[in-house]
Amino acid sequence: GCIVDGKLYPFGDIARTENCFRCSCSRDTIDCCSLFHTPIGYDKENCKIIFNKKTCNYDVVQKSDPSKECFIYSRV
């Protein structure tokens, strides 16, 4: 198998690791890509980003009230 972030996975496709990556594991290589996109276009003065491991995504919330979401203009 392959070890990703300290955890052993069997050979083949890994749909989702504990840290939100999709991987392909073979005897010779392991290739991974992220399942999330990082917000870059949002109100940085009034909002902050928080990584949500449950959804494998970043939440953008108000600094003054994290229960309220902020509008996101773009992600990469």
pLDDT of 5 reads: 87
In this structure, are 55 and 69 located in the same domain?
yes
Read off the CATH number of the domain in which 49 is found.
2.20.25.590
38: amino acid identity, one letter: T
* CA–CA dist 19, 52 (Å, integer): 10
Task: Label the pairing between strands 2-4 and 7-9.
Answer: antiparallel
Q: Which domain holds residue 71?
A: 39-75
Considering its fold, how many domains does the chain have in total?
2
What would the pLDDT profile of 2-59 be if each residue is shown by its tens digit? 988 889 999 999 999 989 999 999 999 999 999 999 999 999 999 999 999 999 999 9
Residue 45 burial (C-beta neighbours within 10 Å; 0-12, 13-18, 19+)? exposed
Helices (H), the chain: none
Segment 47-73, tens digit of pLDDT: 999 999 999 999 999 999 999 999 998
Give percent helix, percent strand, percent coil of the chain, each to the nearest 5.
Answer: 0, 50, 50
Q: Is the whole-model pTM more than 0.75?
A: no
